[in-house]
Amino acid sequence: MWKEYDPKTEEEFVILPCSEFMTVTGKEFNEVHKGEKFYKITCKTELHYGMHYKNGLNVDIYPLKPGKNISGGLHFADKYNIFDYNSSCKWLREVTIPDKAQVYIGDGQYKSDMLFLKEREPLVDSELYRQYGDVFVLNYIDL
């Protein structure tokens, strides 16, 4: 990670190295993605691979393992990719990443060893679903 200077706005901005797969600190992630929103979708019970999601801080029960489709890391996504994750979901939660977290970025996915979850809302009632849900086919929702 390094910082660049924009002479037009006289502002400093952060650049991550151009790499498809990397692990960064939560602080670095938050600097780069300032103002962006991230989300997590969960099933009816909010229990997934032994992890029970709740409001507030959630710390993975397994160590973060960089890599795609392997255990270790709490997955989350931006608004454009959140509907790629799971067709058997019920809840949508907004995510924030603690500065002390470790975040893996790779192949269009994010995962972290810890994240904060805001209050859940029914996915199909969310503004995000109304805006982007047309690309998402619900195979199962137990309302």
Q: Give 70-90 pLDDT, tens digit per residue.
A: 788 999 998 888 877 665 688
Residue 139 has pLDDT above 80, yes or no: no
Query: Is 0.85 surpassed by the pTM of this model?
Result: no
- Whether 56 and 41 have beta carbons less than 8 Å apart is answered as no
In whole angstroms, give the CA distance from residue 67 to residue 22: 9
The β-bridge partners of 96 are 116
In whole angstroms, give the CA distance from residue 137 to residue 126: 15
